[in-house]
Amino acid sequence: MSDLFPLKQVMGFALSIILTIIAACVYFFDMSMPITMTILLVTAFIQAGLQLVVFMHASETKDKPAIYTNIYYALIIALVTIFGTLLCMIWGYL
Amino acid sequence: MKIDQSLPLEYSTQQNQLNILGFWVFIGAEIMLFGTLFAAYFVLVDRTGNGPTGADIFEITPVLFETFILLTSSFTIGLGIHAMRKGYTKAMITFYVLTLLLGVVFIGFEVYEFIHYVHVGAGLQTSAFTATLLTTLGTHGAHVTFGVFWGMFIVYQLIQRGLTPETANKSFIFSLYWHFLDVVWIFIFSFIYLKGMV
């Protein structure tokens, strides 16, 4: 039975549950906006990284550099799109 | 077809390795797609017009259920891949079926949520906020729905053909897709729901 539940994945699952609970704390406790955003950003990106490494096996083959280059590229495009849009549609007019 | 026995089944042929790398490129494109949806959402989140705000319509209980259901399904499909690499076909199929059932429950919650939104007057045409909200959630939900059907065909093939380099490869690629949907949900959970409710 323990053959079916490898420690690495069980730990990964436990950690993602804990991170979700920490993130949910911003709803249940009163916090200032900067602290809320910091908690959400940190927990979300750790969880995303966790999925990538533990569950998606991104680092296991010789394709690792190609996979990471591709993911970082996509991430940069997505973040530039999001923050660039915010910059020219919202923050520029504050 | 040259089969390399030193590698897991899903990587055992060159075609398989290329399929997996190709799917990572597709996931890269999906990251950008959801990036644009989030960009639109963050810009329009305060443009509520005469309609409700996020804090008015979001409910924490179904959102937490959806999050834990999707996290658990991501875990069970991970266990499915682990079982596949050990050659336990039956255990693998069980984990896959469990994953798909959790996916169906997730969709059920999301349908309930959408009915609730329309019921409280937050339809697609109410305001810029509700339009981008429902588009972003709907795009994710459509991906999950598509994934459930895709997974059903994969399980069917696994039962029909057993574990071959081809079915293992398809199953692995499907697991990448499913984990990716969980990653997207984490961002929806954090930056749409939680941020909208504080």
Computed on alpha carbons and rounded to an integer, the radius of gyration of chain B in Å comes to 19
| Interface contacts A/B by beta carbons within 8 Å | 139
Q: How far is B89 from chain A (nearest CA, A)?
A: 12
Instruction: Examine the pLDDT at B1 and tell me if it is beyond 70.
Output: no
Better-scored residue on pLDDT, B190 or A52: B190
Of the candidates A9, A40, A71, the beta carbon closest to that of B28 is on A71
CA distances from B99 to B16, B24, B166, B185 (A): 23, 21, 21, 16
Computed on alpha carbons and rounded to an integer, the radius of gyration of chain A in Å comes to 17
- Of A54, A75, A63, A52, nearest in space to B34 by CA: A75
DSSP B65-133: HHHHHHHHHHHHHHHHHHHHHHT-HHHHHHHHHHHHHHHHHHHHHHHHHHHHHHHTT--TTT-HHHHHH
CA dist., res. B19 & res. A18, Å (int): 34
Residue of A nearest to B67 (CA): A20
Whether residues B179 and A55 touch (CB distance < 8 A) is answered with yes
Instruction: Examine the pLDDT at B124 and tell me if it is beyond 90.
Output: yes
Whether residues B28 and A12 touch (CB distance < 8 A) is answered with no
Assess whether A50 and A65 both reside in one domain.
Answer: no
Residue B152, both tokens: 């059903």
The owner of tokens 């520029």 is A92
CA dist., res. B64 & res. B70, Å (int): 10
Q: Which of A33-47, A53-67, B19-33, B34-48 has the lowest mean pLDDT?
A: A53-67
Name the pLDDT band for B9 (thresholds 50, 70, 90): confident
Residue of A nearest to B6 (CA): A61
Report pLDDT for A75: 95
Candidates 2.120.10.30, 3.40.47.10, 3.40.50.11540, 1.20.120.80; CATH matching B10-197: 1.20.120.80
Tell me the pLDDT tens digit for each residue of B136-154. Answer: 999 999 999 999 999 999 9
Report pLDDT for A1: 67
The whole-number average pLDDT for the span B60-71 is: 95
Q: How far is B33 from chain A (nearest CA, A)?
A: 8
Tell me the pLDDT tens digit for each residue of A64-83. Answer: 999 999 999 999 999 999 99
Residue of B nearest to A18 (CA): B68
The owner of tokens 């190709």 is B22
Residue B125, both tokens: 């045409």
What is the count of structural domains for chain A?
2
Report pLDDT for A93: 79
ipTM above 0.85, yes or no: yes
Assess whether A33 and A77 both reside in one domain.
Answer: no
Full domain range(s) for residue A26? 1-56
Task: Give the mutation candidate from B75, B102, B173, B184 for the A interface (greatest A CB count, under 10 A).
Answer: B75
Chain A CB contacts of B38 under 8 Å are: 78, 82
CA dist., res. A31 & res. B82, Å (int): 40
Name the pLDDT band for B125 (thresholds 50, 70, 90): very high
Residue B46, both tokens: 């305060």
Assess whether A10 and A47 both reside in one domain.
Answer: yes
Of the candidates A12, A23, A52, the beta carbon closest to that of B194 is on A23
- Of B139, B137, B129, nearest in space to B54 by CA: B129
CA dist., res. B66 & res. B182, Å (int): 10
Domain ranges for chain B:
10-197
Q: How far is B120 from chain A (nearest CA, A)?
A: 22
Assess whether A47 and A7 both reside in one domain.
Answer: yes
- In the DSSP assignment, the letter for residue B58 is -
